[in-house]
């Protein structure tokens, strides 16, 4: 079933010059870009996006990180896009993510893990509504 999912190429991806390499993987897989924007977010948007994490211990430094510079927000579309993107991203912790995944190949961190992908169709709808209202 064709789905849309929200992907963030986080500030570490922009700082490290990995935006093109990461986007290439999604495009090569067959996913298409439905919307894309470079933007720097404030703490309010970070709190909205990460609503389920705001009370967790790891959240304050995560909020500092995601607001630390420009990121690229992307809506990707394709068959089973939510699950496909999560497989391409790899496990959350870059140190444990499998080689061949984006995090497994390029990240050595649990926080600065380059990419975010919606974790379900319901999350995708919520997150796309936050980042690209009206899409
Ligand atoms: P993401 O897929 O965007 O979803 C939540 C983010 O929180 C995650 O990627 C990481 O960037 C970060 N994160 C999750 N767990 C931890 C943790 N234990 N320590 C630090 N950061 C974390």
Determine whether the annotation assigns residue 110 to a binding site: no
Enumerate residues 6+ apart whose C-beta is below 8 A from 67: 40, 41, 42, 43, 46
Are the C-beta atoms of 107 and 114 separated by less than 8 Å? yes
Q: Check residue 102 and give its pLDDT.
A: 99
For the chain, residues with pLDDT lower than 50 are none
Q: How far is CA 67 from CA 45, 56, 79, 102, in A?
A: 9, 17, 31, 21
Summary mean pLDDT of the chain: 98
Q: Is-catalytic flag, 53?
A: no
Catalytic residue among 8, 116, 124, 127: 116
Domains along the chain?
3-131 (3.30.70.141)
Residue 66 has a pLDDT of 98
Ligand 1 center–CA 77 separation, angstroms = 23
pLDDT the model gives residue 32? 98
Looking at residue 51, what is its pLDDT? 97
pLDDT in tens, 66-77: 999 999 999 999
- In terms of Cβ atoms closer than 10 Å to its own Cβ (0-12, 13-18, 19+), residue 90 is buried
Q: Is 103 annotated as a binding residue?
A: yes
For residue 16, say whether it is annotated as part of any ligand binding site: no
92 lines ligand 1 (CB under 6 A): yes
Tokens representing residue 56 in the block: 């967790």
- The interface predicted TM-score (ipTM) is 0.93
């Amino acid at each position: 079933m064709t789905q849309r999912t929200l992907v963030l190429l986080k500030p570490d991806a922009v700082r490290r010059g990995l935006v093109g390499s990461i986007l290439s993987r999604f495009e090569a897989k067959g996913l298409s870009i439905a919307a894309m924007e470079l933007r720097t977010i404030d703490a309010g948007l970070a709190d909205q996006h990460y609503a389920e994490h705001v009370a967790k211990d790891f959240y304050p430094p995560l909020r500092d990180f995601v607001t630390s510079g420009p990121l690229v927000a992307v809506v990707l579309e394709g068959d089973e896009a939510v699950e496909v993107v999560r497989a391409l991203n790899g496990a959350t912790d870059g140190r444990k993510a499998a080689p061949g995944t984006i995090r497994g190949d390029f990240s050595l961190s649990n926080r600065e893990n380059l990419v975010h992908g919606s974790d379900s169709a319901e999350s995708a709808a919520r997150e796309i509504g936050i980042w690209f209202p009206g899409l």
